Amino acid sequence: MSDIRVKIDGVAMAAPDKVLTNKDLEKIVDTSDEWIRTRTGMVERRISDEHTAASDIVLKACEKLFKKSSLRTRDIDLIIVATVTPDHAFPSTACILQTKLGIPHCPAFDISAGCTGFIYAITIAKQFIENGAATNALVVGVELLTKITNWTDRNTCVLFGDGAGAALITQAHKGEISEIIDTYISSDGRYGDLLIMRGGGSRNPTSKETVEKNMHTLYMEGNKIFKIAVKSMGDAAVKILERNGFTGEDLDWLIPHQANLRIIDATAKRIRLLPQKVIINIEKYGNTSSASIPLAFAEAIDDGRIRRGDLIVLDAFGAGLTWGSVLLRY
C-alpha cells in the first residue's frame, strides 16, 4: 500500500448563461411547472448555445480553478475528463482541453461512466498519484446534455441541463488534514439498455435512418432507473462509510449526483443524514450528469458551507449502469 496521501486541492464550476425554466418547458411539451417540481425538484436548467462545445465550458471552470489555487497549469501531469457529450468522438476532449490550457506532454484522456463519471475519474487520479505516476491531476466532469435531449419526450427533456466542474487532485503534504480517504466504484452492464444513446457508434453508425428515428438522443426508462438508482446510491454510501468506520452521523456533508430530489432524499435517509447536511442545487441546474457533483461541490465551497476539514461523501449513479462513492476530508 502506498504511503502517498491524496487530496482535493480545490473545485470550480461553470455553466451557460441561458436559463430554461419549467414555465418555458410548458410551451415546448405537454408538462407543467407543478408536475416537474413534484417529481424531480427541478425549477430551471442551463442551456448552451449551438456554438458551445464541452471543452469551451470546462475551460471556464478550469480558469476559475487555477485562479483559486497555488498550482499553475505547468504543474499538471494528468488530465481526465468524464463526459458522455465530448467535443468529438476523437480526439478526446481531454486532449483538446490540454491544448487550450497550454499543458504539453502529459497523459490526457476521457472516460465514459455516465453520471458516475466524476467519481470514476477521481478514483483513477487517486491511483495514478498513489502509484507515483502523477503528482497533480486535473479531473473534470462536463456535460452538454441538452445537445442530445429529445425535446419531444416530456419524460426526459425536463430533466437535463449543461454545466462543468473541475477539481485539482494532488499529493497531500505531511500534517495536512485534507485527504481522499477512500473510493468505491462498481457497474452492472446487464441494465445498459435502460439508459442509452443508440445512434452514432459502430453498432448504429450515423445515417439518415438513425437521425429520423431519433437515435442520437438520450433514451431512458425512468421508472426502472429510479428503483435501481435509489438502491445503488444508498448501497454505495453505506459501503464507503462502513468500511472506513464511519456512520452518517459523522458526516458534515453528502454531495449526491443531482438526478432527482426523491433519489437524493432516499439516499440521505438510508444513511440517517439530516436534510440540512445534503448539498442540493438541482433546482438551479437540473441533471448535469458527470458535472453535477463538482458543480454542487464548487458552489458549496464558494458560499462558505463547505470548509477545510469537513468530512464528505460524494455519491452517484449513472449509465452503464454505474455507481460509486468517495469519502474525503476536504
pLDDT (tens digit per residue) in 86-102: 999 999 999 999 999 99
Provide the pLDDT confidence category of residue 81 given band limits of 50, 70 and 90: very high
Which positions are annotated as active-site residues? 115, 257, 287
pLDDT (tens digit per residue) in 171-188: 999 999 999 999 999 999
Over pLDDT 90: what percentage of the chain? 99
**Cell numbers standing for residue 278:** 445534503
pLDDT (tens digit per residue) in 242-273: 999 999 999 999 999 999 999 999 999 999 99
- Which strands sit side by side in the sheet containing 6-14, from one edge to the other? 6-14, 162-171, 136-144, 78-82, 108-111
Q: Does the pTM of the predicted model rise above 0.95?
A: yes
What type of residue is 146?
T
Question: Which element (helix H / strand E) includes 329?
Answer: strand 322-329
Residues contacting 42, CB < 8 A, separation 6+: 22, 36, 158, 159, 261, 282, 283, 286, 287
Residue of 141, 136, 131 whose CA lies nearest to 110 = 141
Which residues belong to CATH 3.40.47.10 in the chain? 6-171, 179-329
Q: What is the pLDDT of residue 188?
A: 98
Mean pLDDT score of the chain:
98
Over pLDDT 70: what percentage of the chain? 100
Tell me the H-state helices in the chain: 22-26, 33-40, 54-68, 93-101, 117-130, 208-212, 222-242, 261-270, 282-285, 292-302
> Is residue 191 helix, strand or coil?
helix
pLDDT (tens digit per residue) in 4-15: 999 999 999 999
CATH superfamily, domain at 6-171: Thiolase/Chalcone synthase (3.40.47.10)
Residue of 140, 171, 145 whose CA lies nearest to 158 = 145
- Structurally, at CATH architecture level, domain 179-329 sits in 3-Layer(aba) Sandwich (3.40)
Strand partners, 46: 19
The residue whose grid cell reads 468530512 is 311
Q: What is the pLDDT of residue 1?
A: 62
Provide the pLDDT confidence category of residue 2 given band limits of 50, 70 and 90: confident
Residue 38 has pLDDT above 90, yes or no: yes
Dmax over Cα atoms in the chain, in whole Å? Answer: 60
pLDDT (tens digit per residue) in 217-248: 999 999 999 999 999 999 999 999 999 999 99
